[in-house]
Chains A and B, each alone.
Chain A
Amino acid sequence: MEDLFTSAVLVGIFWATLRIATPLLLAALGELVCESSGILNLSLEGTMTMGAFAGFYVANETGSILAGLVAAGVGGAFLSLIMALMTVTAKVNQVVAGLALNILGLGLAFFWYRSIYEAEGSIDIPTVETMQAPFEFFPIPWLTILAFVMVPVVWVFLYRTKYGLELRSVGHNPEACDMRGVGIISRQYVAVVFGGVMAGLAGSFLSLGSTGLFFPDIISGRGWIALAIVIFGNWRATWVLVGSLLFGFLEATQLALQASDVDLPYQLLLALPFVLTIVALVFNRSRSNVPLSLTIPYHRGER
């Protein structure tokens, strides 16, 4: 037991928590803004894969991580723009559109990857240099720092600015906004695309921020976890942060457990965040902050 509580292991868990939380936090914050406008974007997994691929490809071509990050944002924006077209303009069922785009994102990323990087047997797989930590004593890539900086930014935007208030109003009561002359379509477009950019960056963390590799399955369910974190966080930025850190901490701890002599089944810790999400969902039911018009397309003049 004592080898779990050495300072090296505890410090390791701390930094690992922040790193593991990074893609979850970025994607969940973007999804929070998106859902606040009344649009549920279920295509996070596909959007993150697209971001991971676009970032990897451009970084591999140009040798610049910054260019890779820009590409990841553009990749995410591209997919979410299709989402916005389908749900805001065409008013397609958001759940169906999200799931369909998910498949499109995963498929396109893999198709492009294979078109560019032909593999034949055990070749040396392509890799990129990963993001460096900005300071020696701070062993986390700066995309992690950006993710945490985005928490107060999103919070201030949503709860302390006029635009945030308008966006949340669109998500709660689009009829009232329409009557007040607050444009719904433009706000929803911006929110959905913002969510896409954040998801793209989140995906690129996995390819550029940590592993330096790209595989079509590299997101491995993190998009779905980010969606769960928004629900767990009851659509509030601070609780989204708590949820991301909780997921990161439990994952880091179970990995540390497996590296120690403690005989606790690690599967228990793997399951815990999901159990907590369901518990949070049940207990928050009476005071849910869910945007009231989430998933409901707005048709002007229809009651």
Chain B
Amino acid sequence: MRKLMDRRALTLVTMLTALALVAGACGGDDEPAATTAAPTTTAAPTTTAAPTTTAAPTTTAAAPATTEAEMTETTEAAPMGPTELDVAMIMLGTKEEGWYATFIDSVHRVAEEMPHGLTITLEQIEEIPYADGERVIRDLAQTGDYEIIVGHSTYSDAVAAVKDDFPDILFAFSGSGNEPTGGNGYWIDVFIHEPAYLAGIIAGAMTQTNHVSGVAAFPFPNVNGPLNAFIDGARFVAQQMGKGEITFDVAYIESWFDPATAQEAAAAQIAAGSDMIYAERFGPFAAIEEADGVFGFGHFTDQLGLSPVVLTSAVARWDTAFKDLVDAWYAYTTEGVPYDAPMERIVYTSMVDGGSSLGEISDLVPAEVQDGVAQAEAAILGGLLRVELKTDPPE
């Protein structure tokens, strides 16, 4: 009897470990949900109750009236638009990740502009696994505290399940791998291939070994877009300078959050002769710092301050995307314009539209290379240079 129990226990352990292995191999995320309060706690004095029910006759008149009402603190104002907009965002990882950090930056920049005279606050909730998305989004909606709820990753299934129960709330989700939901569920995305191309120009001009690399998470459209543009930029400038063929390789580490593996991937690329590494993930800079004459490029956030080996970064900007969401919500709330999200993703891509920009450039980049980059940047902004968006894994 005892033997039998032992065996059963062992089988259970084995099964559990096997399960865990599968979970581990898939980059399983059994992190509990944790909520951090948004530090922006500036609460605007609300004079009218229930902003969703009062409809202002004209938006142009309503916006200045609101700010004036706030400043003079008069309470007798007649029909008037909402003065406050509370936004909640949920994230798969933590706020340090560029995908989320850039969105938070953008919300803050837009909030400073006070569109429609709105005081915008942002609640940020980190580490929400996909499977918990629906529950968390529904909980947030049920509080009634948020007018816009952004599932800032592949949360379209969660939004699709929740959005019809809360027709007054504007929902959004972002990035590749989503499905359009229409109605009050908006699918937004940015591609930063244009600044990545400019970063590639620096790499192509400065490489000594003619070997350029990228360390990335998964073969994923949002990941491949900048990688392809980076190598296109490097190859273009190397050809211009008569440097010959540039070798390019990319290492997919099969995880969004594993800096130690990203570091080893970069170490392997350096051993193979690479001296310019586009770091789509955190981690490669630690390996680059160990080597001589090898430099890195930041992705999504401006990472010049993260390490002395960073030459520049391709930076994402969600400002226009977020502003459009605010406008859609405001038009619905004040004028009753129905939410009508397109049945496709809304992509904010180009540097012209403000979907991306090149980060600060390190002093290590020679002046003539910086000039070349400035020229190419001007050409992109002027519509003379079109950077192709390629979302397949680089050749």
Which of A's residues lie within 8 Å of B, judged by CB?
A: 3, 6, 8-9, 11-13, 16, 19-20, 23, 40, 42, 95, 102-103, 106-107, 110-111, 114, 118-125, 127, 130, 139, 206, 210-213, 215-218, 220-222, 224-225, 227-228, 231, 251-252, 255-256, 258-261, 266-267, 270-271, 274, 277-278, 281, 288, 290, 292-296
Contacts and interface: CB of A to CB of B under 8 A. Distances in A.
Contacts of A266: 252
Interface in B238-289: 247, 249-252, 254-261, 263-265, 267-274, 282-283, 286
B264 A255 contact: yes
Contact of A215 (B247, B259, B264, B270): B259
Contact of B17 (A123, A215, A227, A261): A227
Contacts of A252: 264, 268
Contacts of A277: 21
A107 B21 contact: no
8 contacts: A23-B260, A119-B95, A120-B104, A121-B102, A224-B17, A293-B6, A294-B9, A296-B5
Interface of B: 5-6, 9-10, 12-14, 16-18, 20-21, 23-25, 27-32, 34, 36, 39, 93-96, 98, 101-102, 104-105, 108, 126-127, 213, 247, 249-252, 254-261, 263-265, 267-274, 282-283, 286, 290, 301-302, 305-306
A271 to B, nearest CB: 7
A263 to B, nearest CB: 11
Contacts of B265: 255, 258-259
Given A12-B268, A119-B96, A259-B269, 19 more contacts: A3-B273, A19-B264, A110-B34, A110-B127, A119-B101, A120-B95, A124-B305, A124-B306, A139-B290, A218-B260, A221-B25, A224-B20, A251-B261, A255-B267, A258-B265, A266-B252, A277-B21, A294-B6, A294-B13
Q: In the A-B complex, list the 4 residue pairs whose CB atoms are closest, starting with the nearest.
A: A12-B271, A221-B24, A217-B257, A122-B301
Contacts of B261: 220, 251, 255
Residue among A139, A258, A261 facing the most chain B CB atoms (10 A cut-off): A258
A122 B106 CA distance: 10
B258 A220 contact: yes
B268 A111 contact: no
B125 to A, nearest CB: 11
B268 A114 contact: no
B272 A256 contact: yes
B200 to A, nearest CB: 18
Contacts of A215: 93-94, 96, 257, 259, 282
A65 B251 CA distance: 30
Contacts of A227: 17, 20
A11 B264 CA distance: 13
A217 B16 contact: no
A274 B96 contact: no
Contact of A258 (B13, B17, B268): B268
A178 to B, nearest CB: 15
Contact of B96 (A125, A271, A294): A125
Given A221-B23, A271-B25, A258 B250 contact: yes
Contacts of A127: 306
Contacts of A288: 10
> Which of B98, B108, B267 lies at the interface centre, i.e. has the most chain A CB atoms within 10 A of its CB?
B267
Nearest to B16: A95
A168 to B, nearest CB: 16
Nearest to A103: B32
A40 B267 CA distance: 35
Nearest to A115: B36
Contacts of B18: 278
Nearest to A99: B16
B94 A218 contact: no
A109 to B, nearest CB: 10
B251 A258 contact: yes
A94 to B, nearest CB: 9
Given A259-B213, A270-B254, A210 B260 contact: yes
Contact of B23 (A40, A103, A224, A261): A224
Chain A CB count within 10 A is highest, among B17, B255, B302, for B17
Nearest to B105: A121
B34 A16 contact: no
Nearest to B18: A278
A12 B270 CA distance: 9
A144 B27 CA distance: 25
Contacts of A295: 9-10, 12-13
Nearest to A17: B264
B271 A218 contact: no
A55 to B, nearest CB: 14
B306 A218 contact: no
